[in-house]
Structure 1
Amino acid sequence: MPELSQETEHGSAVPPLGWVEVTGPSMVPTLYHGDQLLVRYTARVRSGDIVVLRHPLQQNLLVVKRAVERRPGGWWVLADNPLGSTTDSEDFGVVPDELILGKVRFRFRPPEAGQRSPLALARWVLSAARPVFPDRSASRRLRAR
Structure 2
Amino acid sequence: MVQEQVDERGQELERERRGLLRIGLAEVYNPSMVPTLNPGDQIVVQYGASVRPGDVVVLRHPFRQDLLIVKRAVERRAGGWWVVGDNPLVENDSREFGTVPDEFVVARARLRLRRPPGAGQRSAVALLSWAASAVRPLSPEPSSGRVASWLSRRLRAR
Greater Rg over alpha carbons, structure: 2
* Residues 1:18 and 2:24 aligned together: yes
1:74-89 superposed matches below 5 A: 74-84=80-90, 86-89=91-94
Which aligned runs of 4 or more in structure 1 are off by greater than 6 angstroms?
Answer: none
Point out the structure with the larger strand share.
1
Which of the pair has the greater relative contact order for Cα pairs under 8 Å at 6+ separation? 1
* Residues 1:138 and 2:120 aligned together: no
Whether the 8 Å contact between 2:117 and 2:126 is mirrored in structure 1 is no
* Per-residue deviation, 1:102: 1.5
Structure 1 alignment gaps of length 5 or more: 1-8
* Residues 1:105 and 2:100 aligned together: no
Measure, in 2, the Cα distance between the counterparts of 1:105 and 1:95.
Answer: 20
Identity rate, percent: 54
TM-score by length of 2: 0.81
Question: What CA RMSD, in Å, does the superposition of the two structures yield over aligned residues?
Answer: 1.4
How many corresponding residue pairs?
Answer: 136
Point out the structure with the larger helix share.
2
Which residue does 2:36 correspond to in 1? 30
- For 1:12-59, what per-residue CA distance to the aligned partner results, in whole angstroms no more than 9, with x for missing partners? 244711100000110001100001100011111011111100000000
The one-letter code of the counterpart of 1:138 is: W
Whether the 8 Å contact between 2:112 and 2:137 is mirrored in structure 1 is yes
Which residue does 1:121 correspond to in 2? 127
Match of 1:10, SS state, is helix
Which residue does 1:55 correspond to in 2? 61
1:62-73 superposed matches below 5 A: 62-73=68-79
